[in-house]
Amino acid sequence: MAGGAADEVVMDSGEKRLNELGYKQELRREMTLFKTLAISFSTMTLFTGITPLYGSSLQYAGPASLVWGWVVVSFFTWFVGIAMAEICSSFPYWSGFAICSNDHWFPVFLGCSFGRSSLGSVGILVLCLAGGHRPYCRNWHTGIRRISGTAEHNSAMHRHQQGGGYLTPRWLFLVMYIGLTLIWAVLNTFALEVIAVLDMISMWWQVVGGTVIVVMLPLVAKTTQPASYVFTHFEKAPNVTGISSSAYAVVLSFLVSQYSLYGYDAAAHLTEETKGADRNGPIAILSSIGIISVFGWAYILALTFSIQDFSYLYDTSNETAGTFVPAQILYDAFHGRYGNSTGAIVLLVVIWGSFFFGGLSITTSAARVVYALSRDRGVPFSSVWRRIHPRHKVPSNAVWLCAAVCALLGLPILRINVVFTAITSVCTIGWVGGYAVPIFARMVMREEDFRPGPFYLRRASRPVCLVAFLWICYTCSVFLLPTSYPIKTDTFNYAPVALGVCLGLIMLWWVVDARKWFKGPVRNIDEHKDNGKV
């Protein structure tokens, strides 16, 4: 009795709750609050969402809609984050929650969670790799541009020069895509401590680098836009986008914010590896949202205030071929002040560095979701994907599964633009939509069945969950809308078709096979024995 009592005192609170749910500790629990926050923040990434979509969102309805759109989306994101923080505090084993009370949750949960872990990670990784890729542009291009040096030098160095910008050929982009995917997979097979150190570097890289960009860019720009332009100017571009409705244009201008403000659930995926996960998990989730909300808005303001010539940003003869607006703003500011673009290149290195760190963190998060689902035998060949590396104590097989899926789904870039764009859109919907399942389950479950953790909303839980759930539904719906008119074969948003195919295959698998053998969470510990209960 004495020994058992002593063991219970020293047992980590997160591990104790994990045992109560019927699972033994398998991963190494050594993550501190700061390390978990670093990975969560790195998964969101300050620049990955804003930079690629800034130009298209600015063009839909002008600066005011873009600037205030970030504020609106941030406001509703807090509801989602708070709801998830409460769930994370109570259920440190994240994937088991949505299905623990009712096996019928499985088809929906598997569709959202596995899609979010594999396909969802691809969508973010694509933007991390492409840099300036816009999911809804008419002609899909990569975001790697050469904006320094003389015209003669650029012409000699690159055969793919178009106007003032260099467009990376498809084969080269695919090589970069697969190469970085492999690098992220290799790094994620090492001990989580290695990833945590890199993510701490990532956090400081983005915070310090973001501060430098936010402060320096408006100071370097020879002229800045007045506050009335940034905060009140509304301007549509129906001749370019084909959208004449003001309300519709505003909805689409919010896409950059909706795409950027998610990924904070990475802290929940790492709860089995986090010390005091019932407290530190919620703190990491909410802290990530707070930091990215402030820095993201500051970054948008810095870019918008520093615009020199709005029409030149989209000119196909400019230094970025009219397809990478943030880079063009940087170029105009430094070239206008100093006559060269060296400073712009330095700041772009900061932005592109965040893409690399973001992809690394997303791979970490995705692998944990695959591992958690595999431990419940919720995916095919679960016995393979749930294996833990004997030395590093990480789900290395799950890491390589995610990397393989990413590589395979990158192959369409060689030939088909619209299919690849649809995959990216579906990934976004899958990732964000995955939040809805545990939030909805928390909202409808009986209060006496919910065991609260240290972070508990009490009576506010259901209203918060309701707002969060409705906002998620709205966000997913927006990403299914057409983004340019007239609708043609090469401008159609194929996301609804791709999403229907993905969900249809999952439901078919459930009806034909999975429902016969999946019986809910697979507990691997005797709760009564390990907790000394009768």
pLDDT in tens, 46-84: 777 788 788 888 989 999 999 999 999 999 999 999 998
Compute CA 292 distance to the chain's CA centroid, rounded to the nearest angstrom. 12
CA 479 distance to own-chain centroid? 14
231-270 residue pLDDT tens? 999 988 888 888 888 999 999 999 888 888 877 777 666 6
Quote the mean pLDDT of the chain: 75
Asked which of 79-83, 297-301, 369-373, 515-519 is least confident by mean pLDDT, the reply is: 515-519
Question: What's the pLDDT score for residue 222?
Answer: 92
Please give the average per-residue pLDDT across 429-435, as a whole number: 76
**∠ at Cα 443 (442, 445), nearest 5°?**
65
Whether the CB-CB separation of 236 and 60 falls below 8 Å is answered with yes
Tokens 């600015």 correspond to 58
pLDDT of 139 reads: 30
Four-point Cα dihedral 43, 44, 48, 50, nearest 10: 180
pTM above 0.85, yes or no: no
Q: In terms of C-beta density within 10 A (0-12 exposed, 13-18 middle, 19 or more buried), how is residue 247 classed? A: exposed
Q: Which of 528, 516, 499, 188 is nearest to 377 (CA)?
A: 516
Say what the pLDDT of residue 529 is.
44
Of 520 and 84, which is predicted with more confidence?
84
**Mean pLDDT, residues 80-92 taken together:** 85
Residue 213 has a pLDDT of 92
Residue 90's CB is within 10 A of a number of other CB atoms, namely 20
For 470-495, the pLDDT digits (tens) are: 999 998 888 888 887 887 776 777 77
Question: Which band of pLDDT confidence, cut at 50, 70 and 90, is reported for residue 332?
Answer: very high
Residue 29: DSSP 8-state: -
What is the pLDDT at residue 18?
61
**Overall average pLDDT of the 373-379 stretch:** 73
Domain spans in the chain, listed from the N-terminal domain onward? 33-103+117-145+166-415+436-475
Between CA 491 and CA 494 the distance in angstroms is: 9
Tokens encoding 214: 């936010």
- pLDDT at 145 (0 to 100): 33
pLDDT of residue 302: 95
Report the pLDDT value the prediction gives residue 148, as an integer from 0 to 100: 35
Amino acid 158: pLDDT: 35
Q: What is the 3-state secondary structure (H, E, C) of 82-94?
A: HHHHHHHHHCCCH
Specify the pLDDT at position 229: 94
Residue 370 pLDDT exceeds 70: yes
Identify the DSSP state of 480: T
Quote the CA–CA distance of 392 and 18 in Å, as a whole number: 21
Of 28, 3, 4, 97, which Cα lies nearest the Cα of 531?
4
* pLDDT tens-digit series, residues 157-169: 333 344 455 566 7
Specify the CATH architecture of the domain 33-103+117-145+166-415+436-475. Up-down Bundle (1.20)
What is the DSSP secondary structure assignment for residue 418, as one 8-state letter? H
- Report the C-alpha gap between 53 and 428 in whole angstroms: 13
Grade residue 130 by pLDDT with cuts at 50, 70 and 90. very low
Give the pLDDT of residue 525.
Answer: 64
Give yes or no for residue 150 having a pLDDT over 50. no
Joined together, the tokens standing for residue 430 give 């899958």
Q: How confident is the model at residue 153 (pLDDT cuts 50, 70, 90)?
A: very low
More confident residue, 278 or 65: 65
Confirm if 316 and 204 have CB atoms less than 8 A apart.
no
> Residue 13: pLDDT above 50?
yes
